[in-house]
Amino acid sequence: MRAVVTVTGKDNKGIIAKVSGFLSEKGANIEDISQTILGEYFAMIMIVDVSAVEQELSALAAECAELGKQIGMSIYVQHEDIFNAMHNV
Amino acid sequence: MFSNNDVLETIAMVEKEHLDIRTITMGISLLGCIRDSAEETARKVYDLVCKKAENIVKTARDLSGEYGIPIVNKRVSVTPVSLLCAAFPEKAPLIGKALDDAAETLGIDFLGGYSALVHKATADYERKFIRTIPEVLATTKRLCSSVNVGSTKSGINMEAVKMMGEAFKEAALLTKDQDGIGAAKLVAFCNAVEDNPFMAGAFHGVGEADTVVNVGVSGPGVVKHALEKIPEADLTEAAEMIKRTAFKITRAGQLVAKEAARRLNAQFGIVDLSLAPTPAMGDSVAQILEELGIECVGGHGTTAALAMLNDAVKKGGVMASSRVGGLSGAFIPVSEDIGMIRAAEKGAITLDKLEAMTCVCSVGLDMIAIPGDTPATTIAAIIADEAAIGMINQKTTAVRIIPAPGKDVGDEVSFGGLLGRAPIMPVHKTDSSKLINRGGNIPAPIHSFKN
């Protein structure tokens, strides 16, 4: 099962390290990563395999949102199906 | 596969534009609960609803967490209760109480189906049942009630229309300490649908499966935002943009509906394509119409803009879902839409204009507060007008109107939450009682004879 992790907010040092470190601790495997910086605005999108994560996806999403608050970013973890559904005919 | 922009667009829809799944509604057939006595039936009803919908709140929370899209309401609709108590209609309130208790146990916000279908005529047990509605709505919290008083096939049952005028009045009076909230949980329908997930008019039709999950999507804010990006577009382009946006919103609903049905061991019923506003800023259908170029909703051109919006939403949505149903259209409840509230406060929108708007959109005169001294026959006449629009146009129409006790034009009612607040709107003071008191039926229109 794959999820999309989206991190947005004001650019800062060590964001990728903190988020990817947290995800790997949870057992998630990052398959793809891309990031853009528009001015001071940072946006990173990761495709993550969460099959080996023990907790439920909703719980992981909640913890990531919490981590986001701590580092001053907004972090979303969403099942990839939502994007496939909304953006493909 | 999707692009990074698609991901960011979806997140912006949720964060800034109020995209949400408005409701997951589980429809439950209660026909198997009928027993010899009302007491026994009520017990069975409570047990079955609690068992079937046991996991609805958790499932909604899980899905919301997994997909990152809020699911605002969890609800249950049931078989019209009048059918369960045909043998003991005076004791129907016992079933109502059991359903309200079940809703509380489950932690859902509304349960619909304290309903009767009397579109052709009123059976004796239905008459007795309808008389219990005001009291039941006053003594329960989460229970909603609806009565189908007409249909394109059968015409309009004017006896039922008259009774509903009285029921609204009484339901409001019995809850006068809460601005007449009883009436806000009551709907009079013409051409009621059996798979509507939205309250207060949801019930589970007898033509449905045992247990069904119906989902109502929303997202007026998303549509408005999409239109803001093309301020100079002509209306053909605007309609196209609405279609594309409705497609995306509905796809989210379809995904959630199918997955929710699977997890709840129910059949996937329908996705309802309605644009349902909330009192929150930027979550308003009225503001879409204003974005299209009406200075204030209610002004000339409102009906045309709404017709286009409603049609485009359907076209985009139908393509996105394998099963579409319910009411599927733009809702225009006055108290639940910040743009409508403002227009009503300014006197820019009137009951007459709202009635015209209901000719081209779902569903009807919704959440409108009127003076408390409005006669029951005038309310019945308003219901008759709305039912006539539904009957002739072969569409669902409804009336949910609150004759606010002790209040008059210039005052306001406030219910809080999704039900919102509404200024009292004036009604015509002329007398319609002779029409209402004639009784009988308005015969079905000639174009209903299609066989």
For the cut 90, the answer to whether the pLDDT of residue B63 exceeds it is yes
Does residue B6 lie within any of the structural domains? no
For the cut 90, the answer to whether the pLDDT of residue B79 exceeds it is yes
CB B364 within 8 A of CB B397: yes
Q: Nearest C-alpha of chain A: how many angstroms from B67?
A: 5
Question: Considering only CB atoms, which chain A residues are within 8 Å of B254?
Answer: 85
pLDDT digits (tens, 9 = 90+) for B8-35: 899 989 888 888 999 999 999 999 999 9
Query: Model confidence at B107, in pLDDT bands (50, 70, 90)?
Result: very high
Query: Model confidence at B153, in pLDDT bands (50, 70, 90)?
Result: very high
Q: Which of A83, A84, A88 to mutate to test the interface with B (most CBs of B within 10 A)?
A: A83
Q: Nearest C-alpha of chain A: how many angstroms from B219?
A: 13
Query: Model confidence at B329, in pLDDT bands (50, 70, 90)?
Result: confident
Give me the residue spans of the domains in chain A: 2-87
DSSP code per residue over B169-208: HHHHHHTGGGTTHHHHTEEEEES--TT--SSSS----TTS
pLDDT digits (tens, 9 = 90+) for B338-372: 999 999 999 999 999 999 999 998 789 999 999 99
Question: Considering only CB atoms, which chain B residues are within 8 Å of A78?
Answer: 10, 66-68
Does residue B7 lie within any of the structural domains? no
| Closest residue by Cα to residue B137 from B91, B184, B207 | B184
pLDDT digits (tens, 9 = 90+) for B392-417: 999 999 999 999 999 999 999 999 88
pLDDT in the model for residue B308:
96
Element (H, E) at B402: strand B397-404
pLDDT digits (tens, 9 = 90+) for B292-312: 999 999 999 999 999 999 999
Q: Nearest C-alpha of chain A: how many angstroms from B62?
A: 6
pTM: 0.94
Does residue B3 lie within any of the structural domains? no
**Single-letter amino acid, residue B44:** K
- State whether A87 and B4 contact (CB < 8 Å): no
For the cut 90, the answer to whether the pLDDT of residue B1 exceeds it is no
pLDDT in the model for residue B279:
85
pLDDT in the model for residue B418:
79
Mean pLDDT, range B425-437, rounded to an integer: 97
Does residue B8 lie within any of the structural domains? no
Does residue B5 lie within any of the structural domains? no
What is the domain count for chain B? 1
pLDDT digits (tens, 9 = 90+) for A4-39: 999 999 988 888 999 999 999 999 999 999 988 877
pLDDT in the model for residue B434:
98
Closest partner CB to B251 (pick from A4, A79, A85) = A85
Mean pLDDT for chain B?
95
* Sheet containing A41-49, strands listed edge to edge, beginning at the edge strand earlier in sequence: A29-38, A41-49, A2-10, A73-79
Query: Which residue range(s) make up the domain with B392?
Result: 16-446
Question: Considering only CB atoms, which chain B residues are within 8 Å of A1?
Answer: none
pLDDT in the model for residue A12:
83
The first and second tokens of residue B92, run together, are: 């129907």
- Residues with Cβ within 8 Å of B342's Cβ and at least 6 positions away in sequence, in order, are B286, B296
Q: Nearest C-alpha of chain B: how many angstroms from A4?
A: 8
Distance, in Å, from the CA atom of B427 to the CA atom of B351, rounded to the nearest integer, reads 7
DSSP 8-state class, residue B42 = H
Residue of B nearest to A89 (CA): B320
pLDDT in the model for residue B137:
98
- State whether A61 and B2 contact (CB < 8 Å): no
Mean pLDDT, range B58-68, rounded to an integer: 96
Specify the CATH class of A2-87 in words: alpha beta
For the cut 90, the answer to whether the pLDDT of residue B390 exceeds it is yes
Closest partner CB to A76 (pick from B1, B68, B248) = B68
Task: Check which CATH number belongs to the domain holding B134 and give it.
Answer: 3.20.70.20
| Closest residue by Cα to residue B198 from B401, B61, B404, B400 | B400
Whose tokens are 């986001």? That residue is: A68
A84 has a chain B CB within 8 A of its CB = yes
Using omega within 30 degrees of 0 as the cis cutoff, is the peptide bond preceding B384 cis?
Answer: no
For the cut 80, the answer to whether the pLDDT of residue B432 exceeds it is yes
- Residues with Cβ within 8 Å of B416's Cβ and at least 6 positions away in sequence, in order, are none
Question: Considering only CB atoms, which chain A residues are within 8 Å of B63?
Answer: 58
A4 has a chain B CB within 8 A of its CB = yes
pLDDT in the model for residue A41:
85
DSSP 8-state class, residue B275 = B
Query: Model confidence at A89, in pLDDT bands (50, 70, 90)?
Result: confident
